[in-house]
Structure 1
Amino acid sequence: MKHLLTKSLCAVLFTLMTVAGFSQNLQTKKPALFGKLPGTIKCTAAELSKYFAVVQGQSTDLSFDNSFKAKGVVANKVVKFQNLETLTIKLPEFNNAIFGLSKRLDENKNIVYSGRIINPANSDAFELKKIDANNYQLVKINLEDILQDCAH
């Protein structure tokens, strides 16, 4: 009986320590990277298209809506199929966040852009949203809502 009581007590203590450790991990917040920037930043298809003229390894200036300006280097550029091109631009000014931008042709041969500016070490990010054929906007998102923490 004494042995069973000891095992039960150890199991309860182990469970409490696990719950306490998990609770502490939930309370750890990543810092915001884009806190000083507006929630939405307007950009055009013409602005987005110019980044696809830059070759891998080359520096480029990002500038959208007079509220987002940064210098970056095209870290990767890939053409997949005839209707999909993707590039990543590393942004040292924003803690080496990555601007991933894709250009694809839809079924009607219209160009559609999609992308995000992300650094997994931070709590916020920007996601590119289409407004109409020529206008897009970067919308601030909570990165923790879309990335799962694999530490648990």
Structure 2
Amino acid sequence: MFHSFIKGPVHLTICSGKTLIPGYADHKKNWNNWLNSNQKFYAILRIMNNAALIEPKCVSEERINWIYENRLRLSKVLLGIILVAPRHIVDDGLLNQVDIDNVDVHRYASMDEAIAYLSQQNLRVNGICFNLHSLPELFCDLDWGES
């Protein structure tokens, strides 16, 4: 299941449980809309549990094809991918490699670590400078799944 939130230059997706085809279709629509806006952004993928890594083969194939078809557009606007998952998922290397030219992928075991990284980045979108130090406040109403 996907839940997507867009705040400023950050596109956050929270994944919990098995990926369903309708949920993936909505997720892909959100990404297409963002790419069509041609605005630079960071993508945070928050994986809540092992079940979030399970997806039907058709979704996996479609995701890979979509990334391949959009790799040039992604490399122009995607500033980085932040994967956040429970420590055992990160340590065991259970996150599939995301490979998009000129896009760095960072893996963290907590949102605090991811936010610490993002808060050090300077981001200017359409002439507006975003202070990513305020990222926790932007998403303060969300449950990160951390205690």
Give me the TM-score of the superposition, normalised by structure 2: 0.21
Query: Greater helix share, 1 or 2?
Result: 2
Query: Greater strand share, 1 or 2?
Result: 1
Give me the TM-score of the superposition, normalised by structure 1: 0.20
